[in-house]
Every structure is written in C-alpha cells, then in structure tokens.
Amino acid sequence: MPTSTPTSTSPSPSPSTPPSTFGCARAALPVVTLLALFALLALLALCVAGCGRKAEGDVGVVAKVNGRPIRLEMLEFQYDLLHFDAFSGSLPTVGALREAYGQILGGLVAMELVSQELEKRGQEVSDAELAEAEAKVRADYPEDSFDQMLADEFVDLAMWRRHLRYTCGVEKFQRLVLRPQIHLDYREVEAYYREHVADFRLPERLRLVVVHGPSRDTVDRALALYRQQKNVKAVAEAFPGIQAREVTVPRELVSAPWTEALHSAQPGGPGVVVAGRGVFEGLLLLERLPAQTLDVTQAYTQVEAALVEQRLQQALDAWLTKAVDASVILVSQRLLHKEDDEDLPPEASPAEAGQPGAQEGVASGNETG
C-alpha cells in the first residue's frame, strides 16, 4: 500500500444512494438505506495518495483506513449485491466499473470509520447482536429458503455477515452516539408541519380484516371467529394455514375485485369471500374512513421522525467530515487514476492485422484466449 498524510480537504458532498442488500433481506435491513448519508464518497479521489509498491501482506487490499485494510473481495461482494438485479447482458466498461467501485468504496470507508469509532467507545457490534440481526432477516424466509436464496444468487454467507456487521454498526452508532445529541423544539415541529401540511392529508380509506385460506368454508369460519373474538391473532392460531391481518387501504388503491365485493358491504357485517389464484380471500369491512388532514398534534410523531432523520443525516455528515480529516486513508491508484485508452477495444495483433478483412483495433472474433 502507499504512503499518505492525514486528509484535510472538505469537498462538496456528492450524494449517492446505493441499493440495499438483496431480496427481502433489504426490507429487513432498512439501515442500509442510510448509506445515502455517506455523501462524502467523492472525497476519496481528492484526499488520498496513490499506491506505491505493495508489501506481500497487501495483496488484494484496495484501501486502508487508519491501517485497517479493505479488501478487493469485499468491494466485489458489495458490487455484486448492488448490481445482480440490473445485469443487462453487456459487460460494464473499465471506466464505469472504476466509478462504481469508487462509490462503493466510499461507503465502505465510511462504515469502517464508524466501526473504528464504536470500538474506541467499547460499543462495537457484538456476536450476539449480529446473530440477532441475522435471525430477523431469516425470519422473513420460510424454513431454509434464506440459505437457498444465498446459494441461488451466489452470495457468500461469511461475506454477507461481514456486511451485516457493518450495517448494524451504522445503526448502533446513530442510535447510541448521534441520536442523543438531537433535541427538537416544538416551534420546529410546527414550522415543519406548516411547510409540509400536504403530506398529512389522508384520502378516503377502508379499514378491513383480510383472511387468506385454502377453501371457502375455512375462510367463512375464520371470519365468523373474528366477529366473535375481534382478534386476528386468535384467528390465525385457531386455523393452521390461515393468514389473517387487519389493514387500512386508500380507497383508490383497492383492487377491482375487492371494490366490487365490498360495494354494498356495511361495517361490522358478515363479510364476503372472494376467489383468488389458488386461495380464497375473506374481507370483513370494519370502517369507512373519510378523507382528512391530520392536525399538528395527530401528525407530531411523523413530523418528529422526519426532523430526526434530517438531523441524523446532518450529524453523520459532519462527523464523517471530521473523521476523514483526522484519519489516514490510502486508496489503490488503480481506483484513482483513469488511463486515456482504458475503455477502447483491444488492438489487433500483428498476425491478425495481416489477415484479409481485418480492421485495425477491432477484434476478429477468432480469438481463443
């Protein structure tokens, strides 16, 4: 790895929001979306030196953060996670790959700085916390389908766990270090509410109990049990294979079959059963809710959450800027320096150039290696 001095530049942020982990695991790990806060990824090209000759132990190292390596395998792993859904059949150019790797590396450097700060505070992510986070992700997958999904997508479990530890660290850092520093004044809440009052206008809605089951008779009996006990959990426990939940849906988003079935339904009525694809859906109308605008008291929780999110972003950006300035960050020159001809097609060999019909700088299609 190269030598470098502590960074001291403060470039303008260049926000980038990499996609989150993968599949349903993305929903289970909302903290990944907080990588949008790492708007300092553009600084890498400005505040690090290129590589010199590598020591033997630095083979495969693309960056170092205060002496701690970030390896190419983690960079490639993150790239694969973020791009496996978007494969178009054509390979990216060297320049596009360099840009993508640079952006991903910016996020990895930020997460490594957070990880090191937690260690200094004695608050690093424990093995027990990591296991708990993994269990929450696996809970979204029936039986062993999570491991099968990893295998199908060629995702290495050990690397995924390293990534999960990083993202858990960001969440923990925000919760334990940054959040206690944020204090809101009621005047801020009121000002935000006035500026965003349109966000708190609710359309007409239907509050429903929805029951999914394998047969019309089972769904009918499940609806009858709900009318007696008013408890969806009790319904699910009484009828194995039944799914029951209470939902509130904007009227304009209700599907055509549901709209037709509920057209003459009255709140608290017997409910209706609709035949679906391989299942039967039971619908029990609880309430028709009119359009309304929440007042500031009703919207307080939502306003507070929005303001806290803004403040967390500002606090994290400010902390990262200071952390980068106080750190020694080394990045491989292969990620920093673009060659003028790196995206050009390979030139034909002298032998190929002599072939009839061969074009200069264009592959002939007969290459084998």
Q: Please list the residues that pair with 71 across neighbouring strands.
A: 61
Domains of the chain: residue spans and CATH = 23-182+306-336 (1.10.4030.10), 204-290 (3.10.50)
| pLDDT digits 0-9 by tens, 206-227 | 999 999 999 999 999 999 999 9
Residue 115 CA to residue 164 CA, distance in Å, equals: 12
Instruction: Please check whether residue 352 is in contact with residue 364, taking contact to mean a CB–CB distance below 8 angstroms.
Output: yes
Residue 274 CA to residue 244 CA, distance in Å, equals: 14
| Residue from 129, 108, 99 nearest 63 by CA | 108
Instruction: Please check whether residue 213 is in contact with residue 246, taking contact to mean a CB–CB distance below 8 angstroms.
Output: no
- Beta strand 329-331 with 61-65 is antiparallel
Mean pLDDT comparison of 1-5, 142-146, 151-155, highest-scoring range:
151-155
Secondary structure of residue 73 in the 3-state scheme: helix
| Residue from 108, 110, 55, 93 nearest 338 by CA | 93
Instruction: Please check whether residue 112 is in contact with residue 35, taking contact to mean a CB–CB distance below 8 angstroms.
Output: no
| pLDDT digits 0-9 by tens, 95-122 | 777 777 878 888 899 999 999 999 999 9
Long-range contacts of 298-306 (CB under 8 A, 24+ apart): 298/200, 299/193, 299/200, 300/189, 302/199, 302/200, 303/189, 303/192, 303/193, 303/196, 304/184, 304/189, 306/192, 306/196
What band does 89 get if pLDDT is binned at 50, 70 and 90? low
User: How does the average pLDDT of the chain come out, rounded?
Assistant: 77
pTM of the model: 0.65
Instruction: Please check whether residue 172 is in contact with residue 118, taking contact to mean a CB–CB distance below 8 angstroms.
Output: yes
